[in-house]
Amino acid sequence: MRWPSWRGQQRFAFDLYQAVRGDDNLFFSPYSISLALAMTYAGARSETEEQMAATLHFTLPQDQLHPAFHALHEALAGAGEDFVLNIANSIWGAEGYSLRPVYEAAARPLLRGAAAAARLRDEEAARATINEWISDRTEGRIPELIEPGMLTAATRLVLANAIYFNAGWKPSSRPEPTIAASRCSTATGSRCP
């Protein structure tokens, strides 16, 4: 099984960082974002498919890309005894709308069984269902990915992606402060507490 090109993933990560970086601290997972966008890519065809492949630096054809992402995800999820990596991908469809079978077949390896599990007719109930599903998969660390008002009567499809990563530092930090409080200041120039 070939995994998605690490060079392509690296180029996407640097491109994404250039687009979102700023003056503030930033944490994001290019892998998680790429995986989520691979779910939408599964439904893309023609010019859209070509544009997405170029932007995301996907080099494998679709029939190989999705199983490759699935294999990589499974390898990462079971790789370490010293860390936890949970990636929650799901697709939630509005009542009366169905996913095309060819799309479901392509996206299913990335979803790990979480397709069309909620009906979006009642926005608040759907929001609660999606948030509970995500919270369960992120060990309660992301209890509310979908905020009130994000779902409306016009919402037909929700693609949710959340990541939970927990690992110790190597080597672990010392319990005493690493910088004396007298030498520490905030971005506005005030002294640290």
What torsion, rounded to 10 degrees, do the Cα atoms 151, 125, 148, 164 define?
A: -90
Q: What is the pLDDT of residues 92-126, one digit of tens each?
A: 888 777 888 888 888 877 775 455 545 667 888 88
pLDDT score for 18 = 93
pLDDT tier for residue 187 given thresholds of 50, 70 and 90: very low
pLDDT score for 13 = 92
Contact status, residue 8 vs residue 58, Cβ threshold 8 Å: yes
- 36-40, 119-123, 125-129, 170-174: which has the minimum mean pLDDT? 170-174
Task: Give ∠ CA 127-129-132 in degrees, rounded to 5.
Answer: 105
pLDDT of 181 over the 60 cut: no
**Domains of the chain, each with CATH number or no CATH:** 6-183 (3.30.497.10)
Interatomic CA distance for residues 165 and 72, integer angstroms: 16
pLDDT tier for residue 35 given thresholds of 50, 70 and 90: confident
pLDDT of 173 over the 70 cut: no
Task: Find the mean pLDDT for residues 62-72.
Answer: 85
pLDDT of 184 over the 70 cut: no
The pTM assigned to this predicted structure is: 0.74
